[in-house]
Structure 1
């Protein structure tokens, strides 16, 4: 039965303390992401109990409400209620190491989450072009393949511009100015100038040396640049007379922000991004398949905290530089499909009809589309023991994926339909390895979930909230029946 997301959204807003307590709201593929002004006004037990809410993750003033695959409908209903982000003034908060870390993570996740559909879409189009080329459907170098690759590459080549636009919403600054400044970094003349600088030619701006940097396919420079722009815009607004704001204010902002981005922010951002990538893949270089196994085991926990989005820039940069990514993406195969297999086991064993429907839908989402959060929050976290089964299965399947040397040519969430991203044209055995890991993930997590058992949810819990909850029924391990 379709949910009324207008009612769900109203209930969420009420539990968060009302529209006046919401500073900003965005959404990713499965979550509504709120920034609240006063966390003490949030009723978390009430929020978690709302029908249609699969789970809640909160940290300081950040509150993530997991809706599932229909999150866009809930977001549209929220927009119909009014946009808190558009009318609210940012609240000054106490600066601590914890708040700085949370702020950086929130900025990165809040900026990148809206861009994921475009990145996945581009990745899959490039993958389609590769498959068509492998199959010989078109001649090598044909205009059709070139155009398909250009279509797929658009989101990556102009990623700094997309990041700037998304970050402008996040930091509440002028989007057109952010896009214009980011556009400088991917302007053909500037790209040509940076290529000459890389070859040793001296490049200066107002007698200040400019570091040779390639900005296409990058995230951090545009993100940091837009944050700086938000402060520059407020500063310039204070010093410019009202009569000159229409022309002097934007000119000063661009003249201040663009050179800072080119001379300082851009190179620092590239160094930060490269440093993070180097650290991640140095660990992979030392630990090999074990690093993939560890990542497969902890991936559901990273998703629960929202930390999984931290790896998005690293994956993008690695694929752009090497054409593939062999640590994070392969680990997701076992993690995602294990959640699907565990949900199938719950659907098989539970006596609760509503839980069975939820588990079946969550399993299909995780196995077929690679969207694992309905299974994670609707089943695994809710019942606890299935989560343990998924962590064990994720480790074992990650190890197999690492031993098989699997690597992704795209960054779509791994599932049945997106498994082609792991096929290596030079290694036909990669198809066998991918199939083996996927089957092992589903079967192993299914069996482990039955062996560990779980506390079933009685029908009364799903059908009424007026009566006290009944004592949960223990679903025993498979070998005890």
Structure 2
């Protein structure tokens, strides 16, 4: 009943069932594509009991709720009849950008298949361990039975992806299974005779036959092509027979075309992509691994990590191994280490309970409760976790470790690193790298990971603490620093900015302005310390020591400087009111971007408090916007 009540509340707060275009779920979050995002009440959802947070990314409205996401998803599907009305097959909103559509597409196709793929991958790891211990032997009946169970999801991956891909593209998903089945049919496999490729003929036309077992991209392109044919045939056929004839014609055209053209071309291109990724990795595997490990959880926060899934799976199909997934082990266990430190340090029973459950979830590969529930709100633990992950990632990259079947990271995934020949240095590198990242994150977070202004969240600011501090320190005096507005417009809270990084105050506290005049003026006397090449962001330091980031618009870096004009350069000394940058508000909006401008005090930790004056009011450039409260002995 609790899940059903939560499902009803989520439906209402995303704008009702009529506002839902599609819905899928991953390990911890519901991924909505909504007809109108403005109808969804994200702030109210974040306060909803049972909801960890809300993220808008990749064209999706993502509601993070934790490990019981599948139960809530099932209730929402029943309450909205999405499955009956086929609404989940609807195409994404055309207003979504290419990258957003791509992330939505990848997540919708692969998320439903992950459960069985991860299960098969873990079983493959167990088989490898049994081989190392000489419990089972390759070719024995026991081995054959176990391997068939473990390998089936991967061997028949075209059938699995055919179902979810055609469903996503708006066709009959069972025809998608038939498309995938044709690619791995015994007749086709038999013509190959165990070779990597063979010449054959189709209607007298010579074609190059290749193996499609475990392949990823050919079936997705074939599914898209089939879905286009099915929709167009359905438009021109009579209702009495189009239900059967449209799929018949679609599959008769698609399957031969896949064998003759789509399959070989897509396989050739996917091999090039795989080789290119390997080439870049091998240029400097240590640096590449450190970057991926450090950024992985940031990608998880924005929900864009799904873009790497097809490439990891393609590497396994092409090379029977993948180097990307092992790099992620330190990234996952570093966040677990950070939240473990919070659990050990906290004196608040509720925080201890949340942290302990987050540690357990993280060990089994689900880091969202740790990230959204604790590490991101406290800020420092999340950053420490990302930096610690880079250390372990560098170790993994140095030994160029690989995994032999696809998996998302958990304590069980270590088994999938074991090669059939026995445990080697590459396996130990991942174990050691993960332990190092885990240990560093735990220790550093325990010692330095709790900001003073967040101590009360952990129950550390007791009366005794305050009395001891008063007894050992002289009464401080306070200095108020005032920062004026750099632009004219309407002031809104930073938490209302449509970007999780700014709204979560990850870069510091401050405010935001929706400008009505396209000019940024110097808020105080000071120096322009940085001006981005795209001119959409300015780093500024006042003579009183306040470090300010003025970020004009959201995601406007994609404009590459269009509609912006700089009137200063990095290093310029300016006076209050000097013109820094001018920009075309209407042109930026027409290009599809928000002009809401976060104004961040990036050295927030230097101040006791940062407050906004005249919240939710119109403001003129030069009027006081922020007060910075600095304690002085």
Shared fold (TM-score, shorter chain, > 0.5): yes
* Paired position in structure 2 for 1:373: 368
* Paired position in structure 2 for 1:355: 351
Query: Is 2:206 the partner of 1:215?
Result: no
What is the Cα deviation at residue 356 of structure 1?
A: 2.0
What is the Cα deviation at residue 432 of structure 1?
A: 4.3
Q: Which structure exhibits the higher relative contact order, with contacts defined as CA atoms closer than 8 Å and separated by 6 or more residues?
A: 1
CA distance in 2, matches of 1:25, 1:411: 24
1:360–1:230 Cα change, 3 Å: same
Which of 81, 84, 87 is the matching residue for 2:82? 84
After TM superposition, the structure 1 = structure 2 runs for residues 7-18 of structure 1, keeping only pairs within 5 Å, are: 7-18=5-16
Query: Is 2:104 the partner of 1:106?
Result: yes
**1:191-237 per-position Cα deviation (integer Å, ceiling 9, x unaligned):** 33356996563x33345443333211111111222222222111111
| Alignment check: 8 A CA contact 1:15 1:44 kept | yes
* Paired position in structure 2 for 1:397: 392
After TM superposition, the structure 1 = structure 2 runs for residues 336-355 of structure 1, keeping only pairs within 5 Å, are: 336-355=332-351
CA distance in 1, matches of 2:59, 2:120: 33
What is the Cα deviation at residue 139 of structure 1?
A: 4.1
* Paired position in structure 1 for 2:63: 65
Find the residue that maps to 2:97 and give its secondary structure.
helix
CA distance in 1, matches of 2:175, 2:203: 22
* Paired position in structure 1 for 2:437: 441
Find the residue that maps to 1:406 and give its secondary structure.
coil
What is the Cα deviation at residue 339 of structure 1?
A: 0.7
**1:146-199 per-position Cα deviation (integer Å, ceiling 9, x unaligned):** 221111110011001000111233223112211112211111212333569965
Which of 155, 176, 181 is the matching residue for 2:179? 181
After TM superposition, the structure 1 = structure 2 runs for residues 159-198 of structure 1, keeping only pairs within 5 Å, are: 159-194=157-192
CA distance in 2, matches of 1:275, 1:238: 38
| Alignment check: 8 A CA contact 1:218 1:313 kept | no
CA distance in 1, matches of 2:47, 2:351: 15
* Paired position in structure 2 for 1:423: 418
| Alignment check: 8 A CA contact 1:186 1:216 kept | yes
| Alignment check: 8 A CA contact 1:32 1:65 kept | yes
Aligned-residue CA RMSD in angstroms? 2.6
Q: Which has the higher strand share?
A: 2
Which of 286, 291, 295 is the matching residue for 2:292? 295
What is the Cα deviation at residue 60 of structure 1?
A: 6.5
What is the Cα deviation at residue 314 of structure 1?
A: 2.3
Find the residue that maps to 1:160 and give its secondary structure.
helix
What is the Cα deviation at residue 421 of structure 1?
A: 2.3
1:100–1:431 Cα change, 3 Å: closer
CA distance in 2, matches of 1:247, 1:54: 45
Q: Which has the higher helix share?
A: 1
CA distance in 1, matches of 2:141, 2:248: 41
1:306–1:270 Cα change, 3 Å: farther
1:199–1:174 Cα change, 3 Å: closer
When normalised by structure 2's length, the TM-score is: 0.67
The number of equivalent residue pairs is 455
| Alignment check: 8 A CA contact 2:395 2:430 kept | no
* Paired position in structure 2 for 1:155: 153
1:398–1:85 Cα change, 3 Å: same
* Paired position in structure 1 for 2:255: 258
| Alignment check: 8 A CA contact 1:37 1:61 kept | no
| Alignment check: 8 A CA contact 1:39 1:61 kept | no
* Paired position in structure 2 for 1:279: 276
CA distance in 1, matches of 2:201, 2:307: 33
1:264–1:304 Cα change, 3 Å: farther
Unaligned runs of 5+ in 1: 461-471, 475-481
| Alignment check: 8 A CA contact 2:122 2:412 kept | no
Larger displacement relative to structure 2 (135-144 or 38-47): 135-144
1:200–1:256 Cα change, 3 Å: closer
CA distance in 1, matches of 2:194, 2:152: 24
Larger displacement relative to structure 2 (392-401 or 305-314): 305-314
* Paired position in structure 2 for 1:409: 404
**1:298-344 per-position Cα deviation (integer Å, ceiling 9, x unaligned):** 11012122222222222223234434322x22221111111111001
Unaligned runs of 5+ in 2: 460-508, 510-604, 606-633
* Paired position in structure 2 for 1:138: 136
* Paired position in structure 1 for 2:46: 48
1:219–1:401 Cα change, 3 Å: same
| Alignment check: 8 A CA contact 1:37 1:91 kept | no
| Alignment check: 8 A CA contact 1:351 1:458 kept | no
1:222–1:309 Cα change, 3 Å: same
**1:22-50 per-position Cα deviation (integer Å, ceiling 9, x unaligned):** 01111111111111111111111112222
When normalised by structure 1's length, the TM-score is: 0.87
Larger displacement relative to structure 2 (34-43 or 419-428): 419-428
**1:115-137 per-position Cα deviation (integer Å, ceiling 9, x unaligned):** 11111111112222221122111
Query: Is 2:36 the partner of 1:30?
Result: no
| Alignment check: 8 A CA contact 1:36 1:62 kept | yes
1:193–1:423 Cα change, 3 Å: closer
| Alignment check: 8 A CA contact 2:207 2:260 kept | yes
1:60–1:373 Cα change, 3 Å: closer
| Alignment check: 8 A CA contact 1:220 1:272 kept | no
CA distance in 1, matches of 2:456, 2:165: 42
What is the Cα deviation at residue 275 of structure 1?
A: 3.2
1:197–1:401 Cα change, 3 Å: closer
| Alignment check: 8 A CA contact 1:23 1:85 kept | no
